[in-house]
Amino acid sequence: MVDIEIEIDGKVVHGHSGENLISIADREGIDIPRFCYHKTLSVAANCRMCLVDIEGNPTPQPACSTLSSAGMKVHTNNEKAKTAQKACMEFLLINQPLDCPICDQGCECELQDVAMEYGSNVSRFNEGKRIVDDKGIGALIQTDMTRCIHCTRCVRFGAEVAGIVEMGATGRGEDLKIEPFLSEGIQSELSGNMIDVCPVGALTSKPFRYEVRSWQMNSIQTIARHDLVGSNIFTQTHKSKVKRVVARDNENINETWISDRDRFSYQGVNNENRVLIPKIKIKGEWQDTSWDDALDFATNGIKKHAKEGSQFGTLASKNATLEELYLLQKFTRGLGSDNLDYRLDVSNPYNAKVLESNISLTELETIDHALIVNSYLRLEQPMINHRIRKATLNGASVSTINAKAFDFNYRVSHSVLTSPQNTVATLSGILKALLDKGSQTLPDYLNTVTVHQSHIDIANALLNAKHPVVVLGEHVNGNTCSDQVAKLVSEIAKASDAKTLNASLTGNTHSAERVNFKPDNGKNALQILSSDLTAFALFDVYPNFDCIDSENAIKHLSRDDAFVVVMNSFDDESVSSFANVILPIASFYETSGTHINVDNIAQSYSASVKSAGESKPGWKVIKVLADLLNLQGFDFTDSSQIADEALSLTPSISEIEVPINNSEMPNVTTVWQYTPYASDVVVRHASSLQQTRIGQMSEASVCKATAKLLELSEGDFYKGVPVNINESVAEGCVFVHTHLPRQLGVV
C-alpha cells in the first residue's frame, strides 16, 4: 500500500492508494453524507448520497466505491456535488412516510440528520406513495418497512457479520422489499445489531417501541456482564429505569457490536419478579421487615448456627461484581471458613490454572485454525465466536470435538462427535498423534491409547497451522473428568504450539479467580452442598438453575439445622422454600462494579439507575454484615476502593498435578446446556428474549441406539425435556439444550 496525496475541497490529505475516498474523508473530518456505507460492511454504493465531484470525471462519483489515486482532486460540496446529493435526497424522501412524530428513530435518525442539510422544505411529490406491508421478524426487532430506504446495511450485516443469510431484498424496482423468507423471526444471536446499523426507523427495538423519546433519556456508559467479553454498552435511562441498551464502540473488545443477550437483558432488571424488600422467615412464614431487623436476624442466625468458621459456607453467582466477590471471600475467610465457591454447575471443579487463556480477542482474528472442544461457542460466547468467524473469512479452518453437531456460522472442516465419557480418550488420541508426529516421548498414560484416523486429522490440522488456538467450552462442566479434559487440552496446545482459550466458565469468572473465590483446602461447591455445614450465605444463587445437582442442593439447604442467608435480586419459589432470610440486592445496571474479561481487562462501571425498591448494592450489604459481625478490613465507603484493593492482588499460581486415568464414567451421560437466554437470572427474566426461537429451545437430543438403551421414543420426556431422536448426537449421551430449570437431580 503506497501512501498518496489527494486533494479534497482544496485541502491536501493523505491516504493509501486504493483506499476509498469516503474513509479518507472520514479520517480527515470532512463531511460526506451517506446511508449505505458502513465502515465494517462491504461497499454497496446504492444509496448514491455520497456522490462527489472528481475533476476529470463528467459525472459525479460515489465516494464510497471510488478508490483514491495520487493527485486526485475531489470536491464534496461544490455545485455539482451538492446538486447530485440534493437530487438523491429528494428521491429518498418521495416515498418516505415522513412519520417522524411517531417514529422511535426520531432524533437519532441519519435520514433526518442528512435531510436537514440536503432536503428541501416542501416536497414536489404529489402522487400516491408506495406502502410496504411488514413481515414480522421476531420478538426483538420491530419492522416498519415503509420507512426503509433500501440501503441493505441489514442484509450485509446478516451475511457478513452475523454469518447467517436471513434477510434479503426481494422484488424489483420500487417493490424492492427487505425481508426474511418466512416470518418466524431472525435467528442470529447478533440480530439486534441490525437495529443499530439501520439508518432510519425501519428496524427498531421491539421491546422499546413507543416507550420513551430518545432525547428524554440519559446515556450512561457501562459494561455487559453476561459473558467473558464484557462488551461495552450504553444504558439509556429515563426516570431511573433502563429503557434501552445500545452498543458502544471498543475496537479491542466488542468492536461495534453486542449480542442480543447484552442488548435485551435489561428487561429482566425491570421485571416485577424482583426482591424489593428484606424478608425473614418466622415459623415457616415469610415476613417483610426493615433492613436493620433483617440484617440482625441474618447475623444472629450465622452466629448461632456456625459456632466454628468451618461450619459456614458461601456460594456466589459467577455474574457477581469483582467487588462483591472480593468482599464475600473476605467475609467468609474472616469468619474462619475456607468453604466458598462460585463453580456451581461444575461436577468436578478443577483449578483454573490447569487451562489458562493466553490469546486476546483481537489476536483471535489472526488465527489460521481453531479447535473447539465441548462448546456451542456461537451461543455461549457470541462475541468470541464473532472473532473466530472473522478469522475464517480470512481462510482460517475450524475443527470441533463435541457431543452434538452444532450449527456454527462458519464451515467446520472436521467435526468429531464424542460423548463426555469418551472425551478423555479422544483427546488422548489426538495428543498421542501430535507427539508421534513430532517423535516426542510419550508420557506413560498415553501408552495404551488408541489413535484413530479422526484424531490424526485433527492433529494434522493443528500442526499445519501457524497460529492455531484450542478453545474449551461449557459442556465440560458436567464431565466428572473435567480436570483431565482441561489438562489434555493444555497438553495438546503445548504439543502443537497453539494458544488456548478457556471459555468453560463464563460471566465474571476471571474476577472470581482473581480474588480466589475458591477453597484453598476447604469445601468446594459440591461439597458445601452435601456435607454437614449448618450456615450458608448465598449470593444471587438460584439452585434450581445454577447448581449441577439442583435437587440435592435444595434438599440440603432445606435441612432443619441449616441457616441460609440469601442475598438475591430476584424472587424464587425454591429459594424461598429453604432460605431463612432474604436480603434484596441490586441487579445489573443498579450497582457500580467491575468486570474482568477473558483478556484480563478490568472494566469498572458506575450504576446507571437507582436499585429497585429497597434493594441495595450487594457490596454494601456484605460490608454491613461484616461490620455487624465485627470483621476487620471492611472500611469502604466507595466501591472503587474495593476494586483497587481487589485488583492489587496477584492471584495464586500454584500448579496442580492432574493425573490422566480416565476414571470410570457411566455408559450414558447427559450434557445439560442452557440456552444463552437462560444462562443467568437477569436474562431469564427478559421476556422478549424468551420469545425468540433460541430462547424457546428445549430438546433432549439422543441418537437412535442410545434412545433404545434408555427406552426413549419421540414424544417422551427426558428429565422434563422433550426427546428428539436424531443422529447428530454422539452415542452414549443425551444432549439437553433447554431453558427449563435443572430440577431433576444430577445430570
Partner 1 sequence: MISNQAKKEIDIWVAKYPEGRQSSAVMQALTIVQKENGGSLNNELKQDVADYLEMPTISVQEVATFYENYNNKPVGKNVIRFCHNISCMLNGSDELISYLEEKLDVKTGEISKDGLVSVKKVECLCACVGGPMCQIGDQYYENLTKKRIDEILDGLK
Partner 2 sequence: MNNICLKSIDKDNPSSLATYETMGGYKVWHKILHGELSPEKILEELKISGLRGRGGAGFPTSLKWSFMPRNQEGQKYVVCNSDEGEPGTCHDRDILRFNPHSVIEGMAIAGYVMNATVGYNYIRGEFMEPYYRFEEALKEAYDAGLLGTNIKGSQVCFALYSNLGAGAYICGEETALLESLEGKKGQPRFKPPFPANVGLYGKPTTINNTESFASVPEILSRGGQWFADLGVVNSGGTKCFSVTGNVKNPANFEIPMGTPFSDLLKLAGGLRKGRALKGVIPGGSSTPLIPAAKAMKMTMDYDSIEKAGSMLGAGSVIVMDDTTCMVKALTRLAHFYYDESCGQCTPCREGTGWMYRVLKRIMDGQGKSEDLELLLSVQDKMLGNTICALADGAAMPIESFIRHFREEFEYYIKHGKSMVENDG
Query: What is the SS3 assignment for 271-306?
Result: CCCECCCCEEEECCEEEECCHHHHHHHHHHHHHHHC
Residue 45's binding partner out of partner 1, partner 2, none, with CB under 5 to 8 Å set by partner kind: partner 2
Closer CB to partner 1, 169 or 665, in the complex? 169
Q: What is the DSSP letter of 523?
A: -
Which of 15, 33, 180, 382 is in the footprint of partner 1 by CB under 8 A? 180
Site for partner 1 contains 181 (CB under 8 A) = yes
CA dist 17 to 64, 530, 730, Å?
Answer: 14, 68, 52
97 binds, among partner 2, partner 1, none (CB under 5 to 8 A by kind): none
Q: How far is the CB of 132 from partner 1 (least distance, A)?
A: 13
What is d(CA 729, CA 713) in angstroms, rounded to the nearest whole number? 15
User: Any contact of residue 472 with partner 2 (CB under 8 A)?
Assistant: no
Say which entry of partner 2, partner 1, none residue 141 contacts (CB below 5 to 8 A, set by partner kind): none
132 in Cβ contact with 170 (< 8 Å): no
All residues at 6 or more sequence positions from 409 whose CB lies less than 8 Å from its CB, including other chains: 162, 163, 164, 188, 378, 385, 389
User: What character string, x for contact with partner 1 (CB under 8 A) and - otherwise, covers 128-167?
Assistant: ------------------------------------xxxx
- Encoded one letter per residue, x for contact with partner 2 by CB under 8 A and - for no contact, window 36-65 reads -------x-xxxxx-x------xxx-x--x
Which helix (DSSP H) or strand (DSSP E) does residue 709 occupy?
helix 704-709
> Which C-beta is closer to partner 2: that of 95 or that of 502?
95
Work out which of 106, 119, 136, 168 binds partner 1, going by CB under 8 A.
168
Q: Output DSSP code: residue 71.
A: T
Which of 149, 141, 144 is closest to 166 using CA atoms? 141
| Shortest Å distance, C-beta 87 to partner 2 | 4
Q: Which is nearer to partner 2, 95 or 506 (CB)?
A: 95
Q: Please work out the total of residues on this chain that contact partner 1, with binding judged by CB under 8 A.
A: 12
The residues in 113-152 that bind partner 2, with binding defined as CB under 8 A, are 124-128, 130, 149-150
CA distance 107 to 451: 63
Judged by CB under 8 A, the residue of 172, 239, 411, 466 near partner 1 is 172
Return the number of the residue (125 or 181) whose C-beta is nearest partner 1: 181
Which 159-198 residues touch partner 2, going by CB under 8 A?
169, 171-176
Per CB under 8 A, the list member of 30, 88, 162, 377 interacting with partner 2 is 88
Least distance from partner 2 to the Cβ atom of residue 44, Å: 8
Nearer to partner 1, 166 or 324 (CB): 166
Cα three-residue angle 78-21-152, rounded to 5 degrees: 100
From the list 80-88, 248-256, 292-300, 316-324, the region that binds partner 2 by CB under 8 A is: 80-88
Any contact of residue 182 with partner 1 (CB under 8 A)?
yes
Which residue stretch of 174-182, 231-239, 641-649, 692-700 sits at the interface with partner 1 (rule: CB under 8 A)?
174-182
CA 218 vs CA 104, 214, 419, 592: distances in Å: 16, 9, 50, 17
Phi, psi of 310 (to 5 degrees): -65, -10
Does 79 engage in binding with partner 2 (CB under 8 A)? no
Give the whole-angstrom CA distance, residue 397 versus residue 414. Answer: 9
Q: Please report, as a single letter, which amino acid is at residue 42.
A: S
Rounded Cα distance between 87 and 274, Å, is: 54
Cα–Cα–Cα angle for 201, 207, 210, rounded to 5 degrees: 55
Decide: is 171 part of the binding site for partner 1 (CB under 8 A): yes
Q: Which is nearer to partner 1, 80 or 135 (CB)?
A: 135
Q: Which does 746 bind (CB under 5 to 8 A by kind): partner 1, partner 2, none?
A: none
**Cell numbers given for 345:** 454447575
98, 244, 153: which is closest to 688 by C-alpha? 244
Computed over its alpha carbons, how large is the radius of gyration of the chain?
28
| Closest separation in Å from C-beta 65 to partner 2 | 5
Residue number with CB closer to partner 1 (176 or 665): 176
284: left (phi over 0), alpha (psi -120 to 50) or beta: left
C-beta closer to partner 1: residue 164 or 276: 164
Measured from the CB atom, is 95 or 237 closer to partner 2? Answer: 95
For partner 2, the closer CB: 121 or 650:
121
Q: How far apart are CA 547 and CA 514, in angstroms?
A: 22
29 binds, among partner 1, partner 2, none (CB under 5 to 8 A by kind): none
Nearer to partner 2 (CB atom), residue 170 or residue 273? 170
Q: How many CB atoms lie within 10 A of CB 740?
A: 18
Choose among 347, 379, 473, 317: nearest CA to 674.
379
Q: Which does 67 bind (CB under 5 to 8 A by kind): partner 2, partner 1, none?
A: partner 2
Q: Which residues contact 42 (CB under 8 A, 6 or more apart)?
A: 156, 160
Report the interface residues with partner 2, using CB under 8 A: 43, 45-49, 51, 58-60, 62, 65, 67, 83-84, 87-88, 90-92, 94-95, 124-128, 130, 149-150, 169, 171-176
Report the interface residues with partner 1, using CB under 8 A: 164-172, 180-182
